[in-house]
Chain A
Amino acid sequence: SFIYCTFPWFGMDIGGTLVKLVYFEPKDITAEEEQEEVENLKSIRRYLTSNVAYGKTGVRDVHLELRNLSMCGRTGNLHFIRFPTQAMHRFIQMGSDKNFSSLHTTLCATGGGAYKFENDFRTMADLELLKLDELDCLIHGLLYVDSVSFNGQPECYFFENPSDTQNSVKTPCSLADPFPMLLVNIGSGVSILAVYSKDHYKRVTGTSLGGGTFLGLCCLLTGCETFEEALDMASRGDSSNVDKLVKDIYGGDYERFGLQGSAVASSFGHMMSKEKRDSISKEDLARAMLVTITNNIGSIARMCAVNEKIERVVFVGNFLRINTVSTKLLAYAMDFWSKGQLKALFLEHEGYFGAVGALLELLKSPEEA
């Protein structure tokens, strides 16, 4: 009774820095289907599922793969692939080379790039995009992935004992009854949404100080080239050599206002001094950059949560990928500054919800659509 969508099933989220692609690999293909399946569809499937890296910069996040997923009456695995938006034209070229347009599938795309590259898809690869709103997709994708769970494990987690970032423990939890939630999506920039139900939400605010800022400034300051490199340096650095702390100014706590001596008074404040600039390590700079951006997002998110009277703050976005420094810091900041009122939650598939949401649009039955 299902109206099957034609394979291949893709959902794409073209962001400012990264393109996120989810691909549903059907595992229940009948022999009959297999025979009918056109060659280039097969080759796409084989290419995507048998590799973990594509070209120089494409990566499949194997550890995120959702296995034996039932979608739209079919069973299969959902794959999570990302590559830099800079490689977008090469990707479109590949689509053209593989004659993707002959497959007569709808390519669902969200993110700003869906608009920016729409014409390129059309002229270079004869492909029409179904453009979708990125915030709709984000919320739908998030709720969907949470509902199907992460291969039997919870998708969501928080940090037990957040006040001690050294010893806080990642703890899985359920996002049951998720509304209202403040959804903080940290990509190149940051969007903050107040979500009241699946289709009822508002964008509260945003900030341009996001993942792109961290990476951009790290590249300028340290000469690094990738997010991984920047994070690796940050993990080995000490931001207190870069930042001016309350105790650097007041000799200890600023008691009049209840500020601890260890609190950062001025990010990069030590760098006003030439001697300190001359002796600082790249690692310390990277760490300070990471802490600065993270704390700032935490601070804005917290204010929004208070203003919107929402206690649950969910952080997503690729800035949090392999970035425990930031997740722990956010958990700490939410807890500390709200005196335990606010709770920071995180999701395993951080940056992929928009793409999943786009895929879900493809699979919507005509009645639903």
Chain B
Amino acid sequence: MTRLSRGTRPMFTSKMAAECQRVDRSSHSMDKSITLPADEIFRNLENAKRFAIDIGGSLTKLAYYSTVQHKVAKVRSFDHTAKETEGEPLYEISMQEEVTARLHFIKFENAYIETCLDFIKDHLVNTETKVIKATGGGAHKFKDLIEKKLKLRVDKEDEMTCLIKGCNFVLRNIPHEAFVYVKHADSEFRFQNTHPDIFPYLLINIGSGVSIVKVESEDKFERVGGSSIGGGTFWGLGALLTKTKRFDELLQLASKGQHTSVDMLVKDIYGGSYGSLGLTGDLIASSFGKSATADNEFSKEDMAKSLLHMISNDIGQLACLYARLHNLTRVYFGGFFIRGHPVTMHTITYSINFFTKGEVQALFLRHEGYLGTIGAFLKGAEEDTPPMLPHSLGTTALSHPRFDPNQYSWGENYAGSSGLMSVSPDLNPMQRTRSGTFDMLEMDRLERQLVNLPLLQDPSSYIPDTVDLSEDALAREYWLYCFEEALDGVVKRAVASQPDLPEAAERAEKFRHKYRHKLQTLRQQPFAYGSLTVRSLLDTREHCLNEFNFPDPYSKIKQRENDIALKYFQKAIKSLEELSWEQRQFALVRGLLAGNVFDWGAKAVSDVLESDPEFGFEQAKRQLEERPWLVDAYDQWLERLKGPPHKCALFFVDNSGIDIILGVFPFIRELLCRGTEVVLASNSSPALNDVTNSELQILTQRIAAMDLVIQSAVKEDRLTLVQSGSSSPCLDLSRLDKELAGVVRERHTDLVVIEGMGRAIHTNYYAMLSCESLKMAVIKNSWLADRLGGKLFSVVFKYEVPPSHKTTTQDHVPGTPS
């Protein structure tokens, strides 16, 4: 696949820079020579299939759909019918090319349009596309230019329809899309959990005017009201009052002003508060009320501030009146008045709080600026899709240019997305505009459709992550440091995983550069991709590794460990069977925990493993903390085991090798013996040394071949392997494979086991399930151990029973502990 190699990727040339300068002069703005590396903008244009453009007053947002070809690690079982020979690995690993779908969104200043169109024209090779969907006020103005340059027919779409479509799409596909803004807080952005049902909601779009739209479902929305007092009023009146031309500069003025010299406050009229009505003295009674009578001059700053308050309050008040009339509590704000401006986010938030007495929170969106273009793009995609065509997964749908993006789940690619720009009011507005010159959002189409785990007690309040690093500065400091420290090792391992590819070292360096840059960005802007969490740091690393074609740096290590562990499987089972029932239950749990010590993802462990390859299973057991553990519900679990068996256990597995083979398999084998069906959920694609679904398929076959209990369970479908839909070392129970959810429901799953630090501590530690659950992990990070009040290799063994659920576990056939 040399066609896609980075070397042939078009670069922004000096010719293009010259063109930029030409555009520059004509648009009387600052120097805008493009210095961004070509790798980072208009990526994958070669295979771009469908375009949409949203041209606003100052920014253009371009969208296209493209395919990305990248390496994936595949495992294939050797034929083991013949007696296996010493030293032969149980499966082979191969690198294959895979094509996946990606949505690209790019935002740039209107001044660049012509340059960008030329660039696209030059590099658009394989497209069959004839039409570009367009929306936004400027679409009309640039219609001829687009048609001339791209030879695509411009097809205008209704602005509001696009906006709503885009809004639905981001709310559904991007966790932490919405946030509330809290000025002066440690983290100004409080990201919201996406409610499983995004409808109904109110969208207040504050452009030059205000539109208030009630959205009830995917296709049903209504403009319920609006107001002519909007961003245009602030800008127009502000320019008249202060002789300041730019919107940004007006906001800047406002943030420095004092409105009390211009506005008539309640205390100016009453001398204090208006107690009987509960109106405080500082409340504005009449905006600009002092400017009619006072003879003195007012400063630009003060007038701008007063104007900002006046308009924000007015919009907030109307929003509340409409929210109340339609009985809605989810109110999102968008439009250029809001977009990335902390000043307006703050005043709108304040106003909503005031008028609803805190009952409604003003919500903002991370990708608000992209809604129009996303919507226009989706509109085009829908029109291309014959409604009756069944949607098959994989290559069929990909090679077919028609597809409906709403049929899939999409995920924000952290490697290719710029994230939320810093919006610090101290930043010079010029600088801010510039740094946002080429803002990008990339979304990967996920193989599987993702849904909630049906066993979440309250999906709307479920938060996967245990610690929000954007709010916990100390924890943030530590983890950012930790990931930066670990970077050398990751690079080394990545290179080592591809010994046959000489350019791997170069790619690994690029990865290092990119991930380090991301870490630096996150240090400055922890809110860039929603709440910063250990999970997001891990996922960002995976995205960056994939970006540079290191799909599975641990493949060889996992292979070797799986090999070694398999050899001990039968011996381990035999020694367990020699124990009494009660001893065995404890040994199974200890085995599971000891297995979990083997985790290359944790620095403390990888140090030990690298220096002492003999570090074995038995040693791991000795490392474990003695009971009572840091969190110890073992006695309750043992009591429970004396009762009837569970109907079905869903087990989220963790690492390859000893963990899965000597820890998990004996444990689930016991459950199977008790008459409990078992569903093993593993990652769909690689992350660290976590066992993937395809690896687990092979391992299960091999174990079944030597163990009758597993064999019959597989045969009788009492042991099922499912994909989690995830490719993270952590676990988001609100984004799981739809098929998994189906299996869980069908089998009346009544026990969920979550194993490992990533899945049971970094995430889900506080997750409330509607059935019994076990959360097990060994803490392999001294900082975290310290935080939780334990020490290195402390054990967390959490057994939880939902309060209302105790009786239903008695429903099943009583079993006898053997």
Are A and B genuine complex partners? yes
Nearest Cβ on chain A to B769's Cβ, whole angstroms: 41
Query: What is the CA–CA distance of A270 and B795 in the complex, to the nearest angstrom?
Result: 67
Give residues 223-273 of B contacting A (CB, 8 Å). 223, 225, 227-233, 235-237, 239-241, 245, 262-264, 266, 268-272
A203 at the interface (CB under 8 A from B): yes
B303 at the interface (CB under 8 A from A): yes
Instruction: Judge whether A271 and B236 touch: CB under 8 Å.
Output: yes
Other-chain residue from A203, A243, A272, A296 in contact with B239 (beta carbon distance below 8 A): A272
Beyond A208-B313, A268-B233, A296-B229, is A219–B291 a contact (Cβ under 8 Å)? yes
What is the chain A residue whose CB lies nearest that of B237? A268
Interface centre among A16, A116, A257, A292 (most CB of B within 10 A): A16
Beyond A84-B293, A208-B285, A220-B303, is A296–B208 a contact (Cβ under 8 Å)? no
B63 at the interface (CB under 8 A from A): no
A215 at the interface (CB under 8 A from B): yes
What is the chain A residue whose CB lies nearest that of B57? A272
Q: Mark B150-177, 1 if CB is under 8 A from A, else 0.
A: 0000000010110000000000000000
Instruction: Judge whether A295 and B289 touch: CB under 8 Å.
Output: no
The DSSP consensus for interface residues of chain A is helix
Give residues 208-233 of B contacting A (CB, 8 Å). 208-209, 211, 223, 225, 227-233
Query: What is the CA–CA distance of A249 and B287 in the complex, to the nearest angstrom?
Result: 29
Give residues 281-329 of B contacting A (CB, 8 Å). 284-293, 298, 303, 310, 313-314, 317-318, 321-322, 324-325
A148 at the interface (CB under 8 A from B): no
Instruction: Judge whether B236 and A292 touch: CB under 8 Å.
Output: no
What is the chain B residue whose CB lies nearest that of A120? B271
Beyond A16-B286, A208-B285, is A249–B137 a contact (Cβ under 8 Å)? yes
Instruction: Judge whether B264 and A189 touch: CB under 8 Å.
Output: yes
Instruction: Judge whether A266 and B208 touch: CB under 8 Å.
Output: yes
Nearest Cβ on chain B to A207's Cβ, whole angstroms: 6
Instruction: Judge whether B269 and A270 touch: CB under 8 Å.
Output: no
Nearest Cβ on chain A to B283's Cβ, whole angstroms: 8
Q: Mark A10-52, 1 if CB is under 8 A from B, else 0.
A: 0000011100000000000000000000000000000000000
Instruction: Judge whether B288 and A213 touch: CB under 8 Å.
Output: yes
Nearest Cβ on chain A to B327's Cβ, whole angstroms: 11
B478 at the interface (CB under 8 A from A): no
What is the chain B residue whose CB lies nearest that of A303? B321
Taking CB atoms, residues of chain B closer than 8 Å to A300 are 317-318, 321
Query: What is the CA–CA distance of A230 and B313 in the complex, to the nearest angstrom?
Result: 25
Taking CB atoms, residues of chain A closer than 8 Å to B209 are 244, 264-267, 269
Beyond A112-B269, A205-B355, A269-B232, is A274–B245 a contact (Cβ under 8 Å)? yes
Instruction: Judge whether A16 and B272 touch: CB under 8 Å.
Output: no
A115 at the interface (CB under 8 A from B): yes
B274 at the interface (CB under 8 A from A): yes
Taking CB atoms, residues of chain A closer than 8 Å to B274 are 112
- Interface size of B as a range: 35 or more
B276 at the interface (CB under 8 A from A): yes
Beyond A17-B289, A266-B232, A274-B245, is A116–B310 a contact (Cβ under 8 Å)? no
Other-chain residue from B230, B270, B287 in contact with A209 (beta carbon distance below 8 A): B287
Instruction: Judge whether B241 and A16 touch: CB under 8 Å.
Output: no
A173 at the interface (CB under 8 A from B): no
Instruction: Judge whether B321 and A15 touch: CB under 8 Å.
Output: no
Q: How many residues of A contact B (CB 8 A)?
A: 61
Query: What is the CA–CA distance of A213 and B225 in the complex, to the nearest angstrom?
Result: 23
A210 at the interface (CB under 8 A from B): yes
Taking CB atoms, residues of chain B closer than 8 Å to A133 are 276
Nearest Cβ on chain A to B127's Cβ, whole angstroms: 30
Beyond A221-B240, A296-B227, is A116–B269 a contact (Cβ under 8 Å)? yes
What is the chain A residue whose CB lies nearest that of B208? A266
B277 at the interface (CB under 8 A from A): yes
Query: What is the CA–CA distance of A86 and B223 in the complex, to the nearest angstrom?
Result: 45
What is the chain A residue whose CB lies nearest that of B279? A206
Instruction: Judge whether B270 and A112 touch: CB under 8 Å.
Output: yes
A325 at the interface (CB under 8 A from B): no
Instruction: Judge whether B233 and A209 touch: CB under 8 Å.
Output: no
Interface centre among A117, A216, A242 (most CB of B within 10 A): A216
Instruction: Judge whether A220 and B291 touch: CB under 8 Å.
Output: yes
Query: What is the CA–CA distance of A217 and B263 in the complex, to the nearest angstrom?
Result: 11
Taking CB atoms, residues of chain B closer than 8 Å to A221 are 240-241
Q: Mark A295-307, 1 if CB is under 8 A from B, else 0.
A: 1100110011011
Other-chain residue from A207, A212, A266, A272 in contact with B288 (beta carbon distance below 8 A): A212
A-B contact count (CB 8 A): 192
Beyond A208-B310, A267-B228, A271-B240, is A188–B317 a contact (Cβ under 8 Å)? no
Other-chain residue from B207, B208, B225, B291 in contact with A217 (beta carbon distance below 8 A): B291
Instruction: Judge whether B287 and A292 touch: CB under 8 Å.
Output: no
Taking CB atoms, residues of chain A closer than 8 Å to B355 are 205
Instruction: Judge whether A208 and B272 touch: CB under 8 Å.
Output: no
Taking CB atoms, residues of chain B closer than 8 Å to A295 are 228
A137 at the interface (CB under 8 A from B): no
Interface centre among B161, B228, B289 (most CB of A within 10 A): B228
Query: What is the CA–CA distance of A115 and B276 in the complex, to the nearest angstrom?
Result: 12
Nearest Cβ on chain B to A323's Cβ, whole angstroms: 15
Instruction: Judge whether A267 and B276 touch: CB under 8 Å.
Output: no
A351 at the interface (CB under 8 A from B): no
Query: What is the CA–CA distance of A286 and B274 in the complex, to the nearest angstrom?
Result: 32
Instruction: Judge whether A272 and B241 touch: CB under 8 Å.
Output: no
Query: What is the CA–CA distance of A112 and B264 in the complex, to the nearest angstrom?
Result: 12
Instruction: Judge whether A207 and B317 touch: CB under 8 Å.
Output: yes
Instruction: Judge whether A296 and B230 touch: CB under 8 Å.
Output: no
Other-chain residue from A209, A285, A307 in contact with B324 (beta carbon distance below 8 A): A307
Instruction: Judge whether B270 and A115 touch: CB under 8 Å.
Output: yes
Instruction: Judge whether B232 and A112 touch: CB under 8 Å.
Output: no
Nearest Cβ on chain B to A62's Cβ, whole angstroms: 25
Instruction: Judge whether A188 and B286 touch: CB under 8 Å.
Output: yes
Taking CB atoms, residues of chain B closer than 8 Å to A270 are 236
Nearest Cβ on chain B to A61's Cβ, whole angstroms: 20
Taking CB atoms, residues of chain B closer than 8 Å to A187 are 286
Give residues 191-248 of A contacting B (CB, 8 Å). 203, 205, 207-213, 215-221, 242-244
A98 at the interface (CB under 8 A from B): no
Beyond A257-B223, A272-B239, is A217–B288 a contact (Cβ under 8 Å)? yes
Instruction: Judge whether A216 and B288 touch: CB under 8 Å.
Output: yes
Query: What is the CA–CA distance of A218 and B237 in the complex, to the nearest angstrom?
Result: 11
Give residues 283-297 of A contacting B (CB, 8 Å). 285, 292, 295-296
Query: What is the CA–CA distance of A134 and B774 in the complex, to the nearest angstrom?
Result: 65
Instruction: Judge whether A220 and B228 touch: CB under 8 Å.
Output: no
Taking CB atoms, residues of chain B closer than 8 Å to A303 are 225, 318, 321-322, 325
Give residues 252-270 of A contacting B (CB, 8 Å). 256-257, 263-270
Extra inter-chain contacts (5) besides given A15-B269, A268-B233, A272-B232, CB under 8 Å: A112-B270, A117-B271, A219-B292, A292-B229, A303-B321
Which positions in B face A, CB cutoff 8 Å? 137, 158, 160-161, 207-209, 211, 223, 225, 227-233, 235-237, 239-241, 245, 262-264, 266, 268-272, 274, 276-277, 284-293, 298, 303, 310, 313-314, 317-318, 321-322, 324-325, 355
29 contacts between A and B (CB under 8 A): A16-B289, A84-B293, A111-B269, A116-B271, A187-B286, A189-B285, A203-B277, A207-B313, A207-B317, A208-B285, A208-B286, A208-B289, A208-B310, A209-B287, A213-B287, A217-B291, A256-B161, A265-B232, A268-B237, A268-B240, A269-B208, A269-B233, A271-B240, A272-B232, A272-B235, A272-B239, A296-B229, A296-B314, A303-B322
